[in-house]
Chains A and B, each alone.
With several copies, the nearest count.
Chain A
Amino acid sequence: MIKVVDVHKSFGKLHVLKGINFNVSPREVVCVIGPSGSGKSTLLRCINQLEQVNEGRIYIDGEELTHPKTDINAIRQQVGMVFQLFNLFPHKTTLQNITMAPIKIKGVDKEQAYEQARELLRKVGLMDKADVYPGNLSGGQKQRVAIARALAMQPKVMLFDEPTSALDPEMVGEVLAVMKDLATEGMTMVVVTHEMGFAREVGDRVVFMDEGLIVEEGLPAQIFDNPKNVRTQLFLSKVL
């Protein structure tokens, strides 16, 4: 589903990704963990082409994103992204946030888009917030709307960048529950997260990154209970 081949990325002189190789199979849930600054967000952003790689190739569903001729916008529609800070459109209601892209880009009929959006809101438990502006939602509600917004484009893959780290502890649960449901339904997901409980419970695989490299990867139980690499051990000791 996703194939990342030998990807390098620098910001100016700062070499952030130093040769990442990484595969995600369909319906797989991969959790990415690692210390701050290790390049987790940058990796996700490269997969979604919000950043251009300096070297290497990235494929989604067999299509090479990094090829100059590829229509990035078409592929982005297949890849949903959920940001740490939600990034909802503040000038649009919940329903409008969710339906904007289907209507304006895919040309979906308005009524149909609204129908689908209400369905999604039911799924994330926010039926009653359809006509509310983001400014009046709590953090957990915002993040659930952001997920619904990404899902409305019916993506094949969902990327999550620390979707709960800006939330109060009480609200984390709401969002994780929605993500769990998605995983159960068979969505392919890459999740950068500090929620080790979630990674352990839902993740099919855990990837540990440090200083621009994938240092260790494996089954959650294996990584959490029996990390082989010293750096993984050190990191887990601080976070768990």
Chain B
Amino acid sequence: MPLSEFTFGLGILDAIATSPGYRVVTNNFVYFLGGAWYTIFITALSIAMGMVLGLFAGLAKLSKNKIIYGLSTAYIDFFRGTPLFVQIFLLYFGVLPLIYDNDPLSSAIIALGLNSGAYIAEILRAGIQAIDKGQMEAARSLGMNERQAMIYVILPQAFKVVIPPLINEFIALLKDSSLVSAITVAELMHRGDLVFANTYQATWVFGTIAMMYLVITKTIALLGDYTERRLATE
């Protein structure tokens, strides 16, 4: 009886389309997309900041200068070792107001950037250490100073080595960015919470949110694979 099966199938689709949860999701889909966009925006800027900080902190941790080493160790220990939400609070309410008239969005990005910088520092440090000492010596023997050797020879190679853990970190950061909802930044997870609180449609709402995260993280992972392949030289 293929026909009855067909109508049965339609029946299920119908049931879904008229279920309250489905309506909640369709009503809020654009709203969620806006949140996803916010999430991507915050994460991208935080990554940019985290990469710069992580690069300097990672290099500093390799320094023979005790003070520079100590400062970067303290930075890494603190931002890797305390809960992100505490860091967000500390920066938003405590530190940043002393510096400028801080708003939630910029504070969120600064907090996430500082946090990811600590993880990225350790990743980059491991990558730099993985590069054969002979590379630095070859560069120095050509007359490059230490900075030039770092920029032209060591870092490009280190960067390639650390793509997989960097991708891990970017994905973790994307999801950690949901914590900035504490200070009113309306990113994806936050919007999910709000809609859930008003509708109690947990499965539909969080299912949709989860799928959106999945799409974004998979995109990041694929970009990572692509970069890795593009940098392959063999």
Contact = CB atoms under 8 A, between A and B. Distances in A.
A90 B137 CA distance: 14
Contact of B143 (A50, A74, A136): A74
Contact of B140 (A50, A88, A91): A50
A77 interface: yes
Contacts of A73: 140, 143-145
B212 interface: no
B141 interface: yes
Interface in A148-168: 149-150, 153
Contacts of B152: 100, 104
Contacts of A48: 141
Nearest to B146: A73
A79 B142 CA distance: 8
Given A87-B138, A89-B135, A153-B143, A104 B148 contact: yes
B141 A91 contact: no
Contacts of A83: 134, 137-138
B134 A91 contact: no
Given A83-B134, A104-B148, A150 B142 contact: yes
A133 B160 CA distance: 15
A57 interface: no
Interface string B7-22: 0000000000000000
A89 B140 contact: no
A101 B143 contact: yes
Contacts of B135: 87, 89
A87 B145 CA distance: 17
A81 interface: yes
B70 interface: no
A90 B159 CA distance: 13
Contacts of A80: 141
Pick the most buried of B138, B143, B156: most chain A CB atoms within 10 A of its CB. Answer: B143
B148 A50 contact: no
A41 to B, nearest CB: 11
B233 A87 contact: no
Contacts of A104: 144, 148, 152
A108 interface: no
B5 interface: no
- Interface size, A (range): 20 to 34
A76 B153 contact: no
A56 interface: no
A80 B138 CA distance: 10
A90 B145 CA distance: 20
Interface string B196-234: 000000000000000000000000000000000001011
B157 interface: yes
B103 interface: no
Contacts of B132: 87
B138 A105 contact: no
Contacts of A85: 134
A40 to B, nearest CB: 16
A135 interface: yes
A149 B233 contact: no
Contacts of B160: 91
Pick the most buried of A85, A104, A135, A149: most chain B CB atoms within 10 A of its CB. Answer: A104
A91 B156 contact: yes
Contacts of A149: 142
Interface in B136-172: 137-145, 148, 152-153, 156-157, 160
Nearest to B159: A91
A133 B137 contact: no
Interface of A: 48, 50, 73-74, 76-77, 79-81, 83, 85, 87-91, 100-101, 104-105, 133-136, 149-150, 153
Which 8 pairs from chain A and chain B are nearest by CB?
Answer: A77-B143, A135-B234, A87-B138, A133-B233, A87-B134, A81-B141, A101-B142, A76-B143
Given A50-B141, A79-B141, A150-B142, 10 more contacts: A73-B140, A76-B140, A83-B134, A87-B134, A87-B137, A90-B157, A91-B157, A101-B142, A104-B152, A105-B142
16 contacts: A50-B141, A73-B145, A76-B142, A79-B141, A81-B141, A83-B138, A87-B132, A87-B135, A89-B157, A90-B233, A100-B152, A101-B143, A134-B233, A135-B234, A136-B234, A149-B142
